[in-house]
Structure 1
Amino acid sequence: MMNIRFYDLAEREIEARARLENEWQRLDNRKSKGAGNNNGSGNTSGNGTLGTADQLEYARLTSLKAIADGTVGKPPQFIDPLFASVRTLLASNNFGLNPIDVEYVFTGKVPEAVLKFPSLAKPDQSNEVVRVALTLGLLQLWGAPVPRLVADKSDNAVPDKTHQNYSSFGEVMVRAMARASANLPLAAHTLKTLVDAVNVPGDRRSPDISTVDFAKTFEKLLDRDVQVSDPSIKLQIEDAFERVQRIGADTPLHEFVLNLPDLEAATDIEVIPEHCRLMGSFIFASAFEELKAFQVVDKLVELSQRGEIPLMRGPAGTQLYNYWREAPNRMSEVERQNFYAMTLGLPTGQPGVGVNADFQDLWLRFVSSISTLVRESRVENLLRSNIPLAVNQQQVKKAARDLAHNMSSRGYGMAFYAAADLNKQINEIIQLLSNKELQRVFGATSPYDVIEQVAQTELGGARNSSKYRMLATSGAIITNWIADHADRLRDPTLPMIDLQNVAYPPARASGATAVSNPTDYDLVNACEMWLADSAMGEDRVAILSEPRESPQHSSRPIQIPSIARDLLEGTGLGLGMGYGGGYGGGYGNGNGAAPARANGRSYGVY
């Protein structure tokens, strides 16, 4: 088992090198163009140099780049922060374990990620391959916080001991090493079985294994209390590995919700990232509703049925026909409006629908808090004053926690499936309206031109597509950021926003977008765009950024006996909370007041 290629480590190394190159190139371009700016310490530059903070970062990246390229008199080293940190701690005399040197194999400039232990005898190397590979897999599986790397005096890439993640990473690594060592026979048997499963007889290449798949399979075996002496251990390992990879079977729809936390755990807040993420789908869909995109496509289908669209046989006609044929399988407008009311608190649902009355206020408070924090930090840096910020990180964290708690409590039942259905329908609409043949019929150059023209001529008027497109994108960025950073909500010591990241945005990894992998910089931009397109005044933003007492609501749906529900509805106090005390030209907001209406429909979240 000494020549196993752990391909996920190779992929991590390739991504780490791409990130390093992008970040170094960004600073190098700024240095070359003389794009000096305020570095946070009051220094500015315009002579081709960088600010102090950027100079330090540029020097760090330059040193790591030389180590990665092998131009420091040594072979190229791995610069993936995870592997480099594990390698350094294993070789350290201060880690509490016997020092072990773990190295790697490069083929030219391609990382092979074959673990080597030059200081150990061959019989001992096999056990260390198992132990270290499992440790690397568990660290990834557990989401261990990884410190950044720096170059030491010997030109080695090592973890930065001053980084905030250094201590936490060491603690998680000790736990992973202990778990691997305590169950080493089972881990070794598991890895050997996996190698045999993927190895092709007669193939001289090293078998490819993922350390994460190894760790997942190992954890499943521990959950089942499988012992090495179990006569069926081979079948148990193969079954666990198959479940990890889902070979030969599609994942059931009811298993699509990922990484649900233990709701019975003793925590002061239950945040379910996937529930937060699906709210972005409803915001996106409700923006399309405002654009009349759903109604426009329905009108196009109707016109096509009557033969009033001059389309020849082709992809556009086929898409319209398929859209018409699948109509019974899609949600109706009434059903969509009910989901908007249940998740986003929009007063569009039918009587009896449970309206999420707190969402709009919590959403605007979070967006306003982010905006106010960043603006005040910039003013503080400009004036170099010691005046405390009116909105601090903990107030922002409270606003985020309240919003995340609200979104998590509204993701149960059919909400996820409805979000997935809406995502599919929106993609179909964009694909249809992007058809060049259909666009030529209306003299349009984009899908939104088609929407505006059909809405104007057939549906009584068009909306501002630029505004609602921006709101849809901003909403998706904000909800995805909250879902991706739920750990910051749980840890009171972590800052909610990395202001350094906002001031000096990192380079984006290849293939990543602001929506799929939002950074703190993307979040701030999305919040500012939301406030701008919502025409939110400065005074209103300042008021909303002030802390308020968290709303009282349960973290999970509570079943109400049908008799009690019927009694409440019979007295006009139905559980919908959407018709509290009067209509006022629109549905009530649950507090006896009706929200202001625009263009005939209230969309307070906008």
Structure 2
Amino acid sequence: MSSPALLSPAQRAAAEAGLAYAEQAMARHMEAVGTRYGPAALGVIDLPPLTGGRLVDAQIRVSGVLYWAAELEAAGLLPFVEALAEGVATGAVMEPLGAAVHELIRFWRSREHRFTGAERLALFGRVLGGAASTGEAVEPLLATLVETLVALGRSRADVGTGALEARAAVQAQALGSVLSSRGVGIAGFAARDVVGQVRAALGVLRNGDVVRAMGGGSPWTIVTRHAPRFLRRMVDAQPHLERAQAGMRIVGWIADEAPRLDAGAVRIARGAQVVHDAEAWSAAAGAA
């Protein structure tokens, strides 16, 4: 079996920029919660819908963040750091980790106060659908929208794009409606928790003592290199990270365009950012 490709510096930077985008999306969700229900609601775990509308932008963003988090889960980030922390806590990991041992022990002990791996997978299944869920799967809806956006971007300059734009709008409405309906209840609280876990895990893997003990490199290099030992499987993070970033941005576009999608007034230029994101998602999906 060939070794999975390591990310280039540019790919690593783009992948880790997803964390900032996710945090911004959750900040916008919390702003919407505060506006709708008041400051006291910011600490509520199980929130009701923000409105009765079909496309609620803040709820769509929550589901987009959970899509991103699910791809990072597949890329091995949180499972890897959890396994590393458990190994340190139980004495199975003997590398000289220096002061990072204390950080890893804290991460391990915090497991009772955050979503576990099994709970995260159940959450992703509920929001994104698929084999473990009775709900409609998000992946085929996203793939269909991506296909149309890619066709729009590659269409001849002398041919009108009205039909493709209309098709993309209908597909975006369908996807946005599913994501909006599922970004409620505990989903917002869970998304904030998982985003916090991702930040903490990346912090662990950027710790100088961990980097030296694990042979150097970025967090994703470390996960890729040591996944067979800690996860008992090979990991190719690159396609998952690219899908995570591009997919979350496409969902973010649906949230941004929600009023115009509802009004049938959205326009999509061939060179629009969402078209570039669709190209990136399509390429990564083919590599996954």
Tell me how far apart the structure 1 counterparts of residues 71 and 95 of structure 2 sit (CA, whole Å).
26
Tell me how far apart the structure 2 counterparts of residues 468 and 406 of structure 1 sit (CA, whole Å).
22
Tell me how far apart the structure 1 counterparts of residues 80 and 137 of structure 2 sit (CA, whole Å).
31
What's the secondary structure of 1:534's corresponding residue?
A: helix
Q: Deviations over 1:466-521 (max 9, x none)?
A: 111111111221121111221221222x233144xx2xxxxxxxxxxxxxxxxx32
Tell me how far apart the structure 1 counterparts of residues 160 and 68 of structure 2 sit (CA, whole Å).
37
What's the secondary structure of 2:146's corresponding residue?
A: helix
- Does the Cα contact within 8 Å between 1:291 and 1:462 map onto a contact in 2? no
Q: Which of 122, 125, 129 pairs up with 1:341?
A: 125
* Superposed displacement of residue 432, structure 1: 0.9
Q: What is the aligned partner in structure 2 of residue 138 from structure 1?
A: none
1:293 aligns with 2:47: no
List aligned pairs for 1:68-467, cutoff 5 A. Answer: 252-254=42-44, 260-261=50-51, 263=52, 270-305=54-89, 306=91, 308-312=94-98, 314=99, 316-347=100-131, 349=132, 354-376=133-155, 379=156, 381=157, 384=158, 389=161, 391-467=163-239
What's the secondary structure of 2:44's corresponding residue?
A: helix
* Superposed displacement of residue 390, structure 1: 8.4
What's the secondary structure of 2:54's corresponding residue?
A: coil
Query: In the superposition, relative to structure 1, how do residues 330 and 475 fare at CA in structure 2: closer, same or farther (>3 Å)?
Result: same
Query: In the superposition, relative to structure 1, how do residues 323 and 397 fare at CA in structure 2: closer, same or farther (>3 Å)?
Result: same
What's the secondary structure of 2:115's corresponding residue?
A: coil
1:531 aligns with 2:282: yes
Paired letter, 2:83: K
Paired letter, 2:147: S
Moved over 6 A (4+): 255-259
Tell me how far apart the structure 2 counterparts of residues 481 and 400 of structure 1 sit (CA, whole Å).
9
- Does the Cα contact within 8 Å between 2:47 and 2:186 map onto a contact in 1? no
- What TM-score does the superposition give when structure 2 sets the normalisation length? 0.78
- Does the Cα contact within 8 Å between 2:64 and 2:248 map onto a contact in 1? yes
- Does the Cα contact within 8 Å between 1:371 and 1:524 map onto a contact in 2? yes
Tell me how far apart the structure 1 counterparts of residues 275 and 166 of structure 2 sit (CA, whole Å).
16
Q: Deviations over 1:135-170 (max 9, x none)?
A: xxxxxxxxxxxxxxxxxxxxxxxxxxxxxxxxxxxx
- Higher normalized helix content (fraction of residues): 2
* Superposed displacement of residue 259, structure 1: 9.9
* Superposed displacement of residue 256, structure 1: 11
What's the secondary structure of 2:202's corresponding residue?
A: helix
Query: In the superposition, relative to structure 1, how do residues 530 and 411 fare at CA in structure 2: closer, same or farther (>3 Å)?
Result: same
What's the secondary structure of 1:461's corresponding residue?
A: coil
Paired letter, 1:355: T
Query: In the superposition, relative to structure 1, how do residues 290 and 373 fare at CA in structure 2: closer, same or farther (>3 Å)?
Result: same
Q: Deviations over 1:250-304 (max 9, x none)?
A: 763239979933x1xxxxx610111111122222221122122222112211221
1:496 aligns with 2:275: no
Tell me how far apart the structure 2 counterparts of residues 345 and 490 of structure 1 sit (CA, whole Å).
24
Tell me how far apart the structure 2 counterparts of residues 468 and 532 of structure 1 sit (CA, whole Å).
11
- What TM-score does the superposition give when structure 1 sets the normalisation length? 0.39
- Does the Cα contact within 8 Å between 1:369 and 1:396 map onto a contact in 2? yes
Structure of greater relative contact order (alpha carbons < 8 Å, 6+ residues apart) = 2
The size of the alignment, in residue pairs, is 251
Residue segments in structure 2 that go unaligned for 5+ positions in a row:
1-34
Tell me how far apart the structure 1 counterparts of residues 182 and 152 of structure 2 sit (CA, whole Å).
28
Tell me how far apart the structure 2 counterparts of residues 358 and 327 of structure 1 sit (CA, whole Å).
29
- Does the Cα contact within 8 Å between 1:373 and 1:389 map onto a contact in 2? yes
Q: What is the aligned partner in structure 2 of residue 17 from structure 1?
A: none
Query: In the superposition, relative to structure 1, how do residues 255 and 282 fare at CA in structure 2: closer, same or farther (>3 Å)?
Result: closer
What's the secondary structure of 2:286's corresponding residue?
A: coil
Paired letter, 2:94: E
Tell me how far apart the structure 2 counterparts of residues 409 and 442 of structure 1 sit (CA, whole Å).
42
* Superposed displacement of residue 439, structure 1: 0.7
Query: In the superposition, relative to structure 1, how do residues 482 and 327 fare at CA in structure 2: closer, same or farther (>3 Å)?
Result: same
Paired letter, 1:533: A
Paired letter, 1:532: A
- Does the Cα contact within 8 Å between 1:444 and 1:450 map onto a contact in 2? yes
| Percent identity of paired positions between Structure 1 and Structure 2 | 23
* Superposed displacement of residue 423, structure 1: 0.8
What's the secondary structure of 2:135's corresponding residue?
A: coil
Paired letter, 1:346: G
* Superposed displacement of residue 530, structure 1: 0.7
Q: Deviations over 1:232-259 (max 9, x none)?
A: xxxxxxxxxxx99x7xxx7632399799
Paired letter, 2:44: H
Q: What is the aligned partner in structure 1 of residue 21 from structure 2?
A: none
- Does the Cα contact within 8 Å between 1:309 and 1:441 map onto a contact in 2? yes
Q: Deviations over 1:11-66 (max 9, x none)?
A: xxxxxxxxxxxxxxxxxxxxxxxxxxxxxxxxxxxxxxxxxxxxxxxxxxxxxxxx
Paired letter, 2:194: L
Tell me how far apart the structure 1 counterparts of residues 263 and 269 of structure 2 sit (CA, whole Å).
14
